[in-house]
Structure 1
Amino acid sequence: MQKLNFPTYSFRFKNSENKTLIYDEIRKKFMVLQPEEWVRQHCVKYLMEEKGFPKSLINVEKELKVNNLRKRYDIVIFNPDGSIHLIVECKSAKINIDQTTFDQIARYNLALNATYLMVTNGINHYYCAMDFDAERYQFLKDIPNYSLQ
C-alpha cells in the first residue's frame, strides 16, 4: 500500500481468500484492505495517538439518513454528552479532494451537526470548524487535540 502523509503506525494484517485484511480496532474485526480503508485506518490511529481522542468516542462506517437517502460516514467522533465533535470523510489517495468532497461532508453534517469536519485522502488533509450562525465553515490548519471541554 501507498505511503501516506501520516506518522508510521503498526497494523495487524492477515490473508483470507487471496485478500489482505487489516484489523479495525474500532469495529473489532478484520476489513478488506482497499485504498480507502488504508486511509481510514491511518486516520483513526492519528486521531487516537496524535490527537488524543479516546477509542470509546470513535465510530467508524455507520449509516445515516440525509434527505431520506441512506449514506455512510467514514469516521465520527462523539463528545462525552453524545453530540458530534468531528466528522471525517476519507478518500483513496488516488482521489483528488475537491468541492464535491466538501459538499458531501457538508450534506452529512446537515444531519449530524458536528463542530469540526475533516477531509483526507491520506496525502492532503483539510480541517474546518463549523459556523452554524453564518451557515458556513472556516478552514483551520489542524483540528484541536481532544480535551474534556
Structure 2
Amino acid sequence: MRCPFCGSPDSQVKDSRAAEDGSAIRRRRVCPDCSGRFTTFERVQLRELVVVKKSGRRVPFDREKLARSIRTALRKRDAEPERVERMISGIVRQLESTGDAEVSSASVGRLVMDALRGFDDVAYVRFASVYRDFQHAADFAAVLGELTAEERVETDDGN
C-alpha cells in the first residue's frame, strides 16, 4: 500500500482487526521511509458497478461518494458511526446483488432514501431535498406530510 504522506510504494501492517461487523478489515499501517501512520480498510467487492447518470453518462460506482452524501445528510445529527457504516454497507450489498453491472443514479437515490427513512427523519428530508431537486418550500412540506402520514399509519397499526 502506497504511503499517503511520502508516496513510498511500501508500508508495513502493524495491526489488523475486523471492522463494520466483520464485513471489512481495518489495518493500521506504518511507512518505513517517513514513519507516517495511517489506516486502511479492505472490503469484499462482488462486482464492478457502473452508475448511469440522468444525462446518460456512466461513471464507476464510488462507495466513498455514497458515504459522503449520507454523512452530509446526517451532519450534526446524533448518529452512531457504526450504524451509519452498516447502512452504507447494506446499500452497497443491495446494489451488488442486483446482478446488473450498471445501476441508475435514481435507483441508488431510492435505496438511500429508503434507508434514511427509517434511520433519521431530518437526514431523510435533507437528502430528499437534493435527490428530488426541491425548488420551493412546498416541496419540503410535501415530504414532511409524507413522513407525518407514515407515522400516523404506524401509530394506528400499533407499531
- The alignment's TM-score, normalised by the length of structure 2, stands at 0.28
* More helix, by proportion: 2
Point out the structure with the larger strand share: 1
